[in-house]
Amino acid sequence: MGLDDELRVGSNEMELVDFRIFKQEEDEVYEGIYGINVSKVREIIKKPKLTDLPGTPEFIEGIFDLRDVVIPVVNLANWMGVNEPEEAANDSRVIITEFNNVLIGFVVHEAKRIRRISWSDIEPASYVSSSDGLDGSKITGVTKIEGDNVLLILDLESVVQDLGLYEPDTSIAPESIEHFSGIALILDDSTTARKIVKDAIVKMGFNVVEAGDGDEGIEKLNDLYKSYGEKLSDNLKIIISDVEMPKMDGFHFAANVKEDPRFNGIPIVFNSSISDHFSELRGKEAGAEGYLVKFQASQFYDEVARIVRANMK
């Protein structure tokens, strides 16, 4: 599939798989509307026969073999504390996802459709009703859809970290870290992910400026330009950006930066949980000098050092 068949870089849009979790309360059934980035979805299948995995949390229903790959399966309704209607539970689907180079299945009651949504229409989750079994830290954003309904974009990476299915690799020998000076701008809507990157960048000797999305990233660049003017590129050595961010995503942000003569000489590296090859291609088309999958310490340090050195020549 070529770039012309997909979302164009700079469009500030994403495609979501809209899926549903049904909740039984006495005689009423309520519908929860959720979404996940299409870039993280490998396929959607009927719920297969699962093998129990002893010693795992109750939310992990089991494992199954998909074309010689063993995949753990998480029941989202159970994780959310939702009482499933019997009919919905019996007709479940499994969304096979890939992020951070890990394959994981998520049981949902219905996979509805694919939606194309502008990031500018997605707001950060300031709160989510406790009756959903969720809090804002497990939601990357919310957006309104037809009928005044609200779709919640789940932070599945946070879910799998809580369940111990994935842990970022942050270990590295201090003597193997190359040191620099100057400023690094970090963009990520996740405070947890931003802290991991900040800690790594500080160890490399950089001072850090932080932003929570592309809009704020542009604001920070304008502030830095007011301080440094034409010497900005001598001081701001690298920009490290997430891809999935509300208001303005990383691809749109990068395209704007590379079109601005004040900033286009500053190298950008994406640091994202999206591990499909197409997203890496989109990153290059947006003008980024690198694309990293969260979070492998040795790869991160090596790539950042390579890009900064190359830009100093």
Residue whose C-alpha is closest to residue 220's, from 241, 199, 193: 241
- Calculated CA dihedral for residues 292, 14, 155, 101, nearest 10 degrees: -30
Q: Which residues pair with 36 in a beta bridge?
A: 17
Higher pLDDT, 134 or 218: 218
Q: What angle do CA 88, 113, 15 make, to 5 degrees?
A: 130
2.40.50.180, 2.60.40.10, 3.40.50.300, 3.40.50.2300: CATH of 3-162: 2.40.50.180
What's residue 134's pLDDT? 60
- Count each helix (H run) and each strand (E run) in the chain, helices first: 9, 15
- Give the Cα-Cα-Cα angle 273, 276, 278 (nearest 5 degrees): 125
User: Which strands form 41-46's sheet, in the order they lie side by side?
Assistant: 41-46, 93-99, 102-108, 69-75, 60-66
At 2 the pLDDT is 38
Q: Which residue has the higher pLDDT, 81 or 109?
A: 109
pLDDT-derived band at 126, boundaries 50, 70, 90:
low
DSSP bridge partners of 32: 21
pLDDT at 274 over 70: yes
Strand partners, 18: 35, 113
Output DSSP code: residue 190: -
Determine the Cα–Cα distance for residues 291 and 11; give it in Å rounded to an integer: 19
Least confident range of 15-24, 52-61, 174-183, 284-293: 52-61
Alpha-carbon gap, residue 286 to 277, rounded angstroms: 14
Identify which of 182, 191, 156, 222 has the alpha carbon closest to the alpha carbon of residue 308: 182
Instruction: Give strand pairing partners of 33.
Output: 20
Domain boundaries, the chain: 3-162, 174-312
Whether pLDDT at 303 is above 70: yes
Query: Highest mean pLDDT range out of 72-86, 167-181, 296-310?
Result: 296-310
* CA distance linking residue 114 with residue 15, whole number of Å: 7
pTM of the model: 0.84
Q: What average pLDDT does the structure give for the chain?
A: 89
CATH superfamily of 174-312: Response regulator (3.40.50.2300)
